[in-house]
Amino acid sequence: MFGLNEGAVEERAMTDAQGPKNMVFDRTLGRVRPAASGQPMMSSAPLGWRGYLVETHRLGTHEAPDITAVDTLIVLQLAETVTIEVKENGRYVQKRIEPGDISIIPAGAPFSTRGQNYGEFLLVSLQRTFLQMACNDILHGEEFILHPRFGFKDPVLQGLCLGLKSEMEERGKNGRHYSETLANSLAVHLIRKYGRKGDQFRPMHEAPHQRIRVAMDYIHEHLHEDISLNDIAGAARLSPFHFSRTFKQATGHSPHQYVTRERIEHAKKLIAQGEMTLSAIAKACGFCDQSHLNKHFKKIAGVTPGEFANSLARR
């Protein structure tokens, strides 16, 4: 069922009518196949997220001998306490996995599992290139090592996985930037807490203040687009993790919060001009639709866009 991605395994995605899936290399079959049998209950594939994929599955009796994941997998048990068997040192051993438990399956590690019932679980895959880019400032270009772990507690990983699940269920309502922030945070926590390399992780250096200015300029120029964290960090020539931390230190807001606030400020200006419908303003400011604009406008400005427009008319 669960699988990983390793340096020796070629990273590739399988695409069919349902879109990309989490894949493993099955040594018994001699080919790549989906990590879990059957179609996922839900998948982030239609959202076009780059470098990470989120799926929910329900799986009954299943046996997966001698497989290797194509990407690093993080598995969050959603429902039912289950007992599965995992092969360790040539022998199958039982693992009790409760709702909320996390399992990590590193990329490329040979792996065997079997069980009568896996219950409902969330499967998050992180491509190797995504992990390296997200963690560049703590890895400094060095390789990292992850080892398989099954059925353990990690509230941080659990919260980030549930955040990605919620965003998938809402069809990316908060924009690609928000899901990328979650995925990058997940990658950094994974490597910081469970990764190993030759030396201790070294502290990051502060980015020059002018890079934050460049990032702000980029945001203002692309407010109408589905701005991603990677795009903004790329404009500032920083890794997503380093950029997010430095940006918050400089502005007091996360990149996602700053983008949302700037969109609301832009919306206020367009409303004041009185030349566009609220639906058109929502699109011009990078919101999915008018209800998305209403939600964030009310949260930040304390009133709805309509109420804001009426207050201007009374002046």
102 lies in a domain? yes
**In this predicted structure, what is the pLDDT of residue 260?**
92
State whether 99 and 124 are in the same domain. Answer: yes
State whether 120 and 22 are in the same domain. Answer: yes
Give 21's pLDDT tier (boundaries 50, 70, 90). Answer: low
Q: pLDDT tens digit string along 238-297? A: 778 778 888 888 778 888 888 999 999 999 999 998 889 999 999 999 998 899 999 999
8 Å CB contact between 62 and 101: no
**Rounded distance between C-alpha atoms, residue 34 and residue 40, angstroms:** 10
Q: Where are the alpha helices (DSSP H) in 149-208?
A: 155-169, 176-194
State whether 141 and 187 are in the same domain. Answer: yes
The domain containing residue 239 runs over which residues?
209-252
Q: Is the pTM of this model over 0.95?
A: no
State whether 154 and 124 are in the same domain. Answer: yes
**In this predicted structure, what is the pLDDT of residue 139?**
66
8 Å CB contact between 247 and 255: yes
34 lies in a domain? yes
**Which pair of tokens denotes residue 160?**
């980030």
Q: What is the mean pLDDT of residues 32-51?
A: 80
Share of the chain above pLDDT 70, in %: 81
State whether 69 and 93 are in the same domain. Answer: yes
Residue 314: Cβ-neighbour burial (10 angstroms; 0-12, 13-18, 19+): exposed
Dihedral angle computed from the Cα positions of residues 225, 228, 231 and 236, in that order, rounded to the nearest 10 degrees = 110
**Rounded distance between C-alpha atoms, residue 311 and residue 283, angstroms:** 22
107 lies in a domain? yes
Hey, what amino acid is at 167? E
**In this predicted structure, what is the pLDDT of residue 124?**
94
Q: What is the mean pLDDT of residues 76-88?
A: 90
State whether 213 and 264 are in the same domain. Answer: no
189 lies in a domain? yes
**In this predicted structure, what is the pLDDT of residue 56?**
92
Residue 4 has pLDDT above 50, yes or no: no
6 lies in a domain? no
11-20, 61-70, 131-140: least confidently modelled range = 11-20
State whether 70 and 154 are in the same domain. Answer: yes
Residue 131 has pLDDT above 70, yes or no: yes
8 Å CB contact between 150 and 74: no
Give 223's pLDDT tier (boundaries 50, 70, 90). Answer: confident
Q: What is the mean pLDDT of residues 129-151?
A: 76
**In this predicted structure, what is the pLDDT of residue 147?**
82
Taking only Cα atoms into account, the Rg of the chain, rounded to an integer number of angstroms, comes to: 22
State whether 129 and 214 are in the same domain. Answer: no
State whether 89 and 214 are in the same domain. Answer: no
8 Å CB contact between 62 and 118: yes
Q: How many domains does the chain have?
A: 3
Q: What is the mean pLDDT of residues 83-112?
A: 87
State whether 214 and 261 are in the same domain. Answer: no
Q: pLDDT tens digit string along 141-178? A: 566 778 888 999 999 999 999 999 999 999 988 888 88
**Rounded distance between C-alpha atoms, residue 182 and residue 36, angstroms:** 24
Q: What is the mean pLDDT of residues 86-97?
A: 87
Indicate which CATH number applies to the domain containing 81.
Answer: 2.60.120.810
State whether 109 and 226 are in the same domain. Answer: no
What is the average pLDDT value for the chain, to the nearest integer?
80
**In this predicted structure, what is the pLDDT of residue 201?**
39
State whether 71 and 147 are in the same domain. Answer: yes
Indicate which CATH number applies to the domain containing 275.
Answer: 1.10.10.60
Residue 313 has pLDDT above 50, yes or no: yes
Q: How many residues belong to the chain?
A: 315
* Domain termination site, one of 168, 194, 220: 194
204 lies in a domain? no
8 Å CB contact between 66 and 46: no
203 lies in a domain? no
User: Within 13 Å of residue 293, how many CA atoms lie on the same side as its CB?
Assistant: 27
Give 97's pLDDT tier (boundaries 50, 70, 90). Answer: very high
261 lies in a domain? yes
